[in-house]
Structure 1
Amino acid sequence: MDPDRTRASAIALAAGKVTAIGEDAEIMALADTGTRVINAQGRTVLPGFIESHLHLFVGAGELDHLQLLGVVGFDALSQALRDYATSHPDLPVILGQGCDYDVVGRSLTRQDLDAILPDRPVCVLAADHHTAWANTLALERAGILEGRSLGRGNEIVMGNDGLATGELREFQAKAPVLALAGAHRIMAGLATGKDPDPYPSDEEFAADCEIMAKGLAHCARLGLTSLINMDGNPYTLRILDRLRRDGRLTARVKVPFHYASGSTLADLEIASEMAQQYNDDWLSSGFVKLFMDGVIDSGTAVMINDYPDQPGWRGEPLWSKSEFAAIATEADRCGLQIAVHAIGDGAVRRVLDGYESARQVNGPRDSRHRIEHIELIDQGDIARLKDLGVVASIQPIHAPGASDFPLQPTMNKIGQHRWGDAYLHKSLAEAGVPLAFASDWPVADLNPLRGIQSALQRPVYEGASDERLSLHDILAAYTTGGAIATHSETRKGQLRPGYLADLVILGGDIEAATPEEIGTMQVEMTICGGQIVWEKESAF
């Protein structure tokens, strides 16, 4: 991925850096008796993949949950929940992940889940994690069966009988049920951005370290050497720091301060302290994450125009225009990078307005503020991304029909007249907007090779332009693009002398493979900082 030398056949690593790259004979001449020599035998060797948007702690905690992605129909859902409940008799809450919004042909209700498991608390979450559905027992024990006052953009959906229907929209609505499941420590970085309350005991801290280590191991097996977390608090960094001191940190991790609902400008001091305390190539902070809206399927994404199926409804922003402008201006003044979840075109515009306000007050700088997802954008705002130096953090696997996520109900919620503005890749790249590709794990499969397949096979929606990028442009978005997004392009994202020794050896030749073959290809070896952090048995 070095534009000055796009190909080579051999590479030398030492002391955590790339020391030389070239042809076999010249590189082999550098080896001594203590050098391990690996013959990749024609396999593709790349810079380590940079995962530019994931929820590491949350994903790690969900690895053992019931996985419902692809489960369709009441009978299949019932069988999956009952089998999982039988094999996990001691769980306080049966948690399922990846449930489709139309799993039974419509949105689930508490009565649907009561018919399956009435005597154990049950909560299933949509793949996007913005909506959950709980049974009556879970709602009762969480104290929200009769509803509860929540912050802007969060909703416990209520029925005509004055009781919750079971549908819980956004994080504050889900939090009471997830707390029953003991997930509050894992979710604290997403829910509040503050440390868990009460603060974990030494035993709980040790248990959380093991959960995080499991997540890191999962990343290593997939060739990921740099991870940009998208929720965070000081507690998350302390866990990762303990793993580093124990020699168990197998990837470079960047963790933000999550400026959540209820945060104030004074809380940016926490973000500044995190940035000062953690600022090396292995563990760093220095940025602030916010949510501006929800998701399209639940109607919580913020749109410029009405939802086609809900006249008069455009979604509710989580921050007013003036609130966000003040947050962005102060965070920018503190030298912090900003990353904002914005899926609807109305949310994207509000974020751009805030970034522009920050620049007007503080002056221009190489901030590389980010917008996460950008699933819908008004064409007139594309040039503003470029002019403001904004990084587009995109998840190819999210595009409906590209991989795991069905076309509906998402595309109908957007409306066919806007399909040409949805899930843009090529249009943003051609406008000069830096792209950083990612998964949003555990919302979608973490495997970057499946993400590459999704980007190659992204559907051409009726009436829209072809937004597919070339393989090399896609690889750049998973390597050099991720480095640019984190101001680290002078030391990672490429294989060149002096750069960090982060690389991945794939199980085949990616340039000769079909998209389907890329999606099923495995990682043979992952090297981070010159250390082998994953090696497939008998690969070499």
Structure 2
Amino acid sequence: MQADLILTNAKVLTMDPERPRAAAVAVAEGRILAVGAAAEIAALAGPETKVIDAGGRTLLPGFVESHLHLGLGGAELADLYVGGLHGPEKLRAAFLKFATENPDRALLMAQGADYAMLDHPVSRHDLDAIISDRPIAMTSHDHHTVWANTAALRAAGILDGHATPPGHEVVMGEDGLATGELREFEAFGPVIALGGLERINLGIATGAEPATWPGEAERDEDKLYFEAGQKHCARYGITSMVMMDGNRYTLELLRELQREGRLLARVRVPFHYKPHMQHSELDRAEAMARDFNDDWLSSGFVKMFMDGVVDSRTAYMLNDYPDQPGHRSVPLFPPEVFNPLAAEIDRRGLQIAVHAIGDGAVRVVIDGYEAARQQNGPRDSRHRIEHIELIDRADVPRLGALGITASLQPPHPPGAMDFPLEPTLERIGAARWKDAYLWKTLRDHGAPVAYASDWPVTDVSVMRGLQAALTRQPYSADCADERLSLMDSLHAYTAGGAWAAHMDHVTGRLTPGLAADLVLLEADLESLAPQEIGGTEVALTICGGRITWAGEGWG
């Protein structure tokens, strides 16, 4: 068979232990035809073969973004970004400029807000002082808190409060009105809806489907968010992605994009199970897994939140928060609820992925996975824990022993990339810093590791994430160096992510027969110092043999 495409004169890192390095790759009919020496691969060229000289640049399997929110990220590309801004003057200037540029937007939404961006807790009054006659709001960098002004609260119908499930809160003031701080998704959902994102927000807020199935015009509008998100990810070398929010509506939108030739990456979408649901709701998850199961679009797993985040003290801890004695938060699924639920999901042959940040939440999840295994017997489940920002040392070896994937985000540790040190380190407490963000420790104890960004929580750039993974520093003398090597980190962004998503039979390695998912970087990665990696551009992104991104001069 002749090749459709050959990339040659490359530093090929295959992630295939049988042949870890090569100089050229041949592609035919959307799959890897051959990997080897330049002369060997050149023999596969025909008169119609496109040949690309990589010029000694690094060629890798396409990156697997193991944890992101695709539609929400695509929508947020049009929002104001306030990350790194501190003080009311800078915030005011940014909002006023954005308001002038967007006179018709129903909601002026900002992203990337820092919990410590003002010298006091943000309230609606702070935002009213910026703009009072239009709804404005801003989302925290972790996406678990929104602050809204009075106009937004009134328009959303929550100025006088709003009934929410445990773990979600419209914070109320002494005056009987909302302060403007909205904690977790069902508290700020009504504000998000003001911006026209109610439908695509369902997959993370409630797990429900639209009350009335959207018409063609509405679906076309929502598809644009997913398309924008895919295009954004493609420029960073991403060819496969695992969404951590979703419902059937999400899958149907992506299927329409697939049929229209507008699906640029392989996407895996979960069924989001919420605490108010009954086990019978898992019939929906099984139907999604059955109806969406090809190499491009699939489901097959259930996502849950066990807790919130450290900065808002909604992460569930085994011990009191050092700066708030008596408070540990609560698990959204208590053990007596989670254990039988995990067993039922596992019995149905579905994978489980649970957001767990505090060490208390991590333990509840591990206990539940262990209970499921004891009840149903071992199988190739590849259940996952997302984030694991704090873990009790006694629980570290349990992940490897139970085959639980550690789904980790290199941009998340405070100070590693964009997140500030505070208030996170204060919330964790100096005595527990040594138990935070234990990537290498978990890997060394046998846990499979997958890396991701959690976009739009952080920048989706894999190169920036890789630099963060390789340059983060211990917080104190009693903290170990938790960095993985360059090759182990690349594995976590490629083959490790594919394995964690049950996609390793399709992608993640450059080996004959697998999908032609590749990323060509604008550098010889191994020649760069770690602190130089983040600025590396992507020259080409290729998914299924199709170029989905071409940098300048590569089109």
TM-score range, shorter chain: over 0.9
Q: Deviations over 1:58-97 (max 9, x none)?
A: 1011110001111111111111111101110111111000
List gaps (5 residues or longer) in structure 1: none
Cα distance in 2 between the residues matched to 1:217 and 1:403: 23
Which residue is equivalent to 1:432? 446
Asked if 1 retains the 8 angstrom alpha-carbon contact of 2:295 and 2:506, the reply is no
Structure 1 pair 322/239, CA: closer, same or farther in 2 (3 Å)? same
SS in 1 for 2:252: helix
Which residue is equivalent to 1:276? 290
Asked if 1 retains the 8 angstrom alpha-carbon contact of 2:68 and 2:453, the reply is yes
Which residue is equivalent to 1:107? 121
Cα distance in 2 between the residues matched to 1:158 and 1:306: 23
SS in 2 for 1:64: coil
Deviation of the 1:262 alpha carbon:
2.3
1:152 and 2:152 aligned = no
Deviation of the 1:353 alpha carbon:
1.1
Deviation larger for 48-57 or 312-321: 312-321
Which letter maps to 1:520? G
Q: Deviations over 1:282-339 (max 9, x none)?
A: 0000000000000000000000000001101001211111111121111101100000
SS in 1 for 2:320: coil
Cα distance in 1 between the residues matched to 2:307 and 2:170: 16
Which residue is equivalent to 1:221? 235
Deviation of the 1:489 alpha carbon:
2.3
SS in 1 for 2:52: coil
Match of 2:541 among 520, 526, 540: 526
Q: Deviations over 1:161-217 (max 9, x none)?
A: 111111000011101111122110110111122222233221010111122111111
1:175 and 2:201 aligned = no
Write out aligned runs for 1:362-441 (5 A).
Answer: 362-441=376-455
Which residue is equivalent to 1:93? 107
Cα distance in 2 between the residues matched to 1:297 and 1:211: 29
Deviation of the 1:154 alpha carbon:
0.6
Asked if 1 retains the 8 angstrom alpha-carbon contact of 2:471 and 2:531, the reply is no
Q: Deviations over 1:254-275 (max 9, x none)?
A: 0000012422211101100000
1:478 and 2:509 aligned = no
Asked if 2 retains the 8 angstrom alpha-carbon contact of 1:192 and 1:261, the reply is no
1:27 and 2:36 aligned = no
Cα distance in 2 between the residues matched to 1:393 and 1:84: 36
Over the matched positions of the two proteins, sequence identity in percent amounts to 56
1:509 and 2:524 aligned = yes
Cα distance in 1 between the residues matched to 2:156 and 2:224: 27
SS in 2 for 1:116: coil
1:116 and 2:130 aligned = yes
Asked if 2 retains the 8 angstrom alpha-carbon contact of 1:47 and 1:502, the reply is yes
Aligned length: 540
Asked if 2 retains the 8 angstrom alpha-carbon contact of 1:61 and 1:186, the reply is no
Asked if 2 retains the 8 angstrom alpha-carbon contact of 1:292 and 1:347, the reply is yes
Q: Deviations over 1:329-368 (max 9, x none)?
A: 1110110000000000000000111111111211111101
Asked if 1 retains the 8 angstrom alpha-carbon contact of 2:401 and 2:446, the reply is no
1:466 and 2:501 aligned = no
1:294 and 2:303 aligned = no
Cα distance in 1 between the residues matched to 2:213 and 2:195: 17
SS in 2 for 1:290: strand
SS in 2 for 1:193: coil
Cα distance in 1 between the residues matched to 2:120 and 2:363: 31
SS in 1 for 2:21: coil
Cα distance in 2 between the residues matched to 1:5 and 1:448: 24
Which residue is equivalent to 2:96? 82
Query: Deviation above 6 Å: which 4+ runs of structure 1?
Result: none
**CA RMSD after TM alignment:** 1.0
Which residue is equivalent to 2:9? none
1:189 and 2:222 aligned = no
Which letter maps to 1:474? S
Which letter maps to 1:62? E
Cα distance in 1 between the residues matched to 2:215 and 2:38: 53
Cα distance in 2 between the residues matched to 1:506 and 1:173: 42
Which residue is equivalent to 1:127? 141
Cα distance in 1 between the residues matched to 2:145 and 2:171: 11
Which residue is equivalent to 1:499? 514
Deviation of the 1:513 alpha carbon:
1.0
Deviation of the 1:491 alpha carbon:
3.4
Cα distance in 2 between the residues matched to 1:86 and 1:323: 49
Q: Deviations over 1:379-399 (max 9, x none)?
A: 110111111110000001001
Cα distance in 2 between the residues matched to 1:198 and 1:179: 15
1:536 and 2:548 aligned = no
Which letter maps to 1:40? A
Cα distance in 1 between the residues matched to 2:259 and 2:63: 24
Cα distance in 1 between the residues matched to 2:231 and 2:206: 26
Write out aligned runs for 1:447-466 (5 A).
Answer: 447-462=461-476, 463-466=478-481
SS in 2 for 1:76: helix
Cα distance in 2 between the residues matched to 1:179 and 1:69: 23
Which residue is equivalent to 2:32? 18
Cα distance in 1 between the residues matched to 2:330 and 2:446: 30
SS in 2 for 1:372: strand
Which letter maps to 1:380? A
Which residue is equivalent to 1:489? 504
Cα distance in 2 between the residues matched to 1:211 and 1:151: 28
Asked if 2 retains the 8 angstrom alpha-carbon contact of 1:85 and 1:94, the reply is yes
Which residue is equivalent to 2:367? 353
Deviation of the 1:488 alpha carbon:
2.6
Which letter maps to 1:466? D
TM-score, reference length from structure 1: 0.99
Deviation larger for 101-110 or 447-456: 101-110
List gaps (5 residues or longer) in structure 2: 1-14
Asked if 2 retains the 8 angstrom alpha-carbon contact of 1:502 and 1:530, the reply is yes
